[in-house]
Amino acid sequence: MDGPNVVRRGAAAVLAAAICGWLSTLGQSAAPVELLAATRSEDPPPKPAPKPKPKPPPPDCARAKCVALTFDDGPAESTSELLDILAARKVKATFFLIGENVAKHPDLVRREHEAGHELADHSYTHADLGAASKEDVRSELTKTQDAIRRASGVTPVLLRPPYGSTSERLAGITRRMGLAQVMWSVDPLDWEHRDTGDVERRVLKAVKPGDIVLMHDIHRTTVRAVPKIIDRLAAEGYVFVTVTELFGGRLEPGQEFVRRNSGEPQGLP
């Protein structure tokens, strides 16, 4: 009768030995896990991402020799070359955009905005807004505002009426739409004289502190005049600003702005 008991005792002994061996193995493998956990806990915390540098304040155009370069009728293929020129010289400009061209080249509008240039309205079809009906004016401006916003996320606050054609009706509409009317004080007639040297000479001869220079980035002859214009004016101490910077951000909707008022000091030491 002892036979079955002997078998049971033997099986129990084998099982006990197996359990002891498994526990021993578990204890040995736990040590590296604990060591690894301890090592990981001693790793230095990740460094916080560096904060972006704050943008420098715009120039004080009551004291600096400021000039605003503005470009009408784009964007066009030649606008890309102009943006390269401005970027190389770290110059900011104001672009008065035609809505139809914005719809054709939204990538260039985004590039203008990302480079820090000012985007502004120049109507959708280069219409004579001063002679247009109230309904046509609203359509031209609203469609252009929407096109620029879709392309860049920005809603312009400046309008340059094509041909400089304005009216009391347009003044009232732009006042309600929050758009200041921006004209110009230097016009090299680059649309008529497609000659790079002529554009350079006309601008450089006419510019004074506080001026708004009108040019057209749709003409390559104009775009190729820009490097010499910038380099010569910079050598004379001029600072290049957007239209809004030129007036210190004080542009009342509906009003016309031709240049910084001559009564406001320019270029003082």
- Cis peptide leading into 156, omega within 30 of 0? no
> What contacts 163, CB < 8 A, 6 or more positions away?
128, 130
N-term to C-term CA, the chain: 121
Catalytic: 216?
yes
Catalytic choice (105, 117, 122, 216): 216
Amino acid at 258: V
Residue 125 φ/ψ, nearest 5 degrees = -125, 20
Catalytic choice (72, 121, 190, 217): 72
Q: How far apart are CA 262 and CA 158, in angstroms?
A: 21
CB-CB contact of 228 with 85 (8 Å):
no
Which residues are identified as catalytic? 72, 216
